[in-house]
Amino acid sequence: MNTTSTAPLISLLLASAPLMAGTIVTSPSSPLVTSTGFENARRPISNPTLFDLALPTTNVHAIAIYQRLPDFVNTTAGPLPMGGDVQVYALQFEIALNERLSVVATKDGYVDINPDTEPLWSNESGFANIAAGLKYAFVYDEARATALSGTVTFEFPTGNHDVFQGEGDGAANLIVSGLKLWDDFELAGGAGLHLPFDGQMATTSFVSAHASYETCRWFIPLIEFNWHHVLEAGNGRSNFFAQAGGGVPVVATFEGSDLLNFGASNASQNRDFVTAAIGFRSRLTADLDAGLAYEIPLTSKEDGVMEDRITLDLLWRF
C-alpha cells in the first residue's frame, strides 16, 4: 500500500470531523417554533371605559373621542332634533401589583357636548364620573399566550349634571375579559354588568369582541364589535335640567351605552345598541403605542346618541 498517497486524504477527513460533529449535535437545538407570550398583546380601542385588556399591566392610557350626534332621536313624543357632537378627553391608569393583580382607574375625564339645536339642547361641558377598582387574572398562561381575568370597579357620582353625570348613588361594574394570541393574530373579548346602587339609573350589560393581526409594528389592523343591552330601565325621573328641560329620562326610548346613563324609564323600547369599529394600532416604541378606530352603529342610530365615533388613544406601559 502506498501510505504516502493516502495520508493527505486521511488528514482531510480528520480535520473535517469536528466540523461535521458540531453540525450534527447543534442543529436539533435550533428553534423550530416561534416563541409565544404576551409581549405583543394589544389593548382594544372601542368601548374604552368597559372593554379592557385581560392582562394586568402598569400603564397610562390617554383617550380622545369625537362622537357625532344623530340629526334626530326617537322619543315617546316623536322624533326630536339633535345634531352636533360630543367630545371626551380622559386619562386611565393601571398599576400592576404582580403579574395577576392590578389596580385600575377606568373612567374619568372631561365631556364637552355641542348640540346643533339650541335651546332644546344646551352646549355644556364638565367632568365625568370616576370609576376604579381591581383586576385579577384567574388564568395567566404565558406559554400558551392565554389569559382570563375578572374586574370589579365602582363608579362614583362625582361628575357634572350638565353632561349627564353625577346622579344616583353610584354603581358597580362586574367584568370578565379574555385574551388569546397565535403569533401575530390576537382575539380578545369582554362581557359585564353595570349595576346601579339604586333604581334611578338603568341596569345594563355589554359584550365586546376584538380581532387584530400585526402585519408590521407600524400597522396592526383591527376590528371590534360592541353590544350594549338594557336589563332594567331607570325610573324616568326628570333630571339633567340643562338638557331638554330635564325631560330626557322621561321621553327617551334608549340609553346612552358606554358613556352616559339617562335613567330613562322607556329605554326598554330599544334595549339593544350594537356598534362595529375598524382601525389600527402602531407600535411607536417598545413601551408606547397609538391607536385609531372609526365606529358606527349597526342598530338604528336614532335609537342612540351615536351617528359615528372616532377614538384616538395613546398607551404607555412602564
pLDDT, tens digit (0-9, with 9 covering 90-100), for 130-184: 999 999 999 999 999 999 999 999 999 999 999 999 999 999 999 999 999 999 9
pLDDT at 14: 37
Question: For residue 217, how far is the Cα from the chain centroid?
Answer: 20
pLDDT of 29 over the 60 cut: no
Indicate the pLDDT class of residue 87, thresholds 50, 70 and 90.
Answer: very high
Read off φ and ψ for residue 235, nearest 5 degrees: -90, -5
In the chain, where the domains are located:
59-317
- Residue pair 305/70 in contact (Cβ under 8 Å)? The answer is yes
Query: Is 279:292 a contact under the CB 8 Å cutoff?
Result: yes
Please state, rounded to an integer, the average pLDDT across all residues of the chain. Answer: 90
Minimum mean pLDDT range among 23-32, 81-90, 139-148:
23-32
Residues 169, 197: Cα–Cα separation, whole Å: 6
pLDDT, greater one: 65 or 37: 65
> From CA 281, how far away is CA 45, in angstroms rounded?
9
User: Of the candidates 237, 231, 243, which has an alpha carbon nearest to the alpha carbon of residue 207?
Assistant: 231
Specify the pairing of strand 146-156 against strand 130-141. Answer: antiparallel
Output the pTM of the full model.
0.87
Q: Which CATH number fits domain 59-317: 2.40.160.40, 2.40.30.10, 3.40.630.40, 3.40.50.170?
A: 2.40.160.40
